[in-house]
Homo-oligomer: A and B are copies of this chain.
Amino acid sequence: MKINSQTIAKNNSQLKKLADFKVGVDNVIFSVDTAYNRVLVLLRKRNEDPFNHYWSLPGTLVRQGESLTDAAYRTLAEKIQVDNLYLEQLYSFGDPGRDPRENPSSFGVRYLSVSYFALVRYQAAKIINKKNYDISWYKVTEIPPLAFDHDEILNYGWNRLKNKLQYSPIAFDVLPPEFTLNEVYQLYCTILGEHFSDYSNFRSRLLKLGFLSDTGKKVCRGAGRPASLYKFDSEAFAPLKDKPLLFI
CB contact list, A1-54 vs B, under 8 A? 1-3, 7-8, 10-11, 15-23
Contact B19 A64 (CB under 8 A): yes
**Which residue of B11, B19, B70, B114 contacts A77 across the interface (Cβ within 8 Å)?**
B11
Closest chain B CB from A106 CB (angstroms): 11
| Contact in complex: A10, B70 (CB < 8 Å) | yes
Decide yes or no: A64 and B108 within 8 Å by CB, A1-B87, A7-B74, A20-B22 being known contacts: yes
B residues in contact with A87, CB < 8 Å: 1
A189 at interface, CB cutoff 8 A: no
A201: Cβ under 8 A from any B Cβ = no
What is the distance, in angstroms, from A14's C-beta to the closest C-beta of chain B? 10
* Cβ–Cβ contact A22 & B15, under 8 A: no
Q: Number of contacting residues on A, CB 8 A?
A: 51
Docked-complex contact B7 and A64, CB < 8 angstroms:
no
Complex Cα distance, B164 from A163, in Å, reads: 14
- B-facing residues in A62-78 (Cβ within 8 Å): 62-70, 73-74, 76-78
Question: What's the least CB distance linking A107 to chain B, in Å?
Answer: 8
Name the residue on B nearest A93 (C-beta): B68
For A66, the chain B residues whose CB sits under 8 A away are: 10, 15, 19, 96
**Which chain B residue lies CB-closest to A107?**
B64
A136 sits at the interface (CB 8 A)? no
- Rounded to whole angstroms, the CA-CA distance of A3 and B94 in the bound complex is 28
A-B contact pairs, 27 of them (CB 8 A): A1-B84, A1-B86, A1-B173, A3-B73, A3-B85, A7-B73, A8-B77, A10-B66, A11-B77, A11-B78, A15-B64, A15-B66, A17-B63, A18-B22, A18-B62, A18-B64, A19-B65, A21-B21, A23-B23, A62-B94, A62-B110, A64-B96, A64-B108, A65-B108, A67-B95, A69-B95, A112-B112
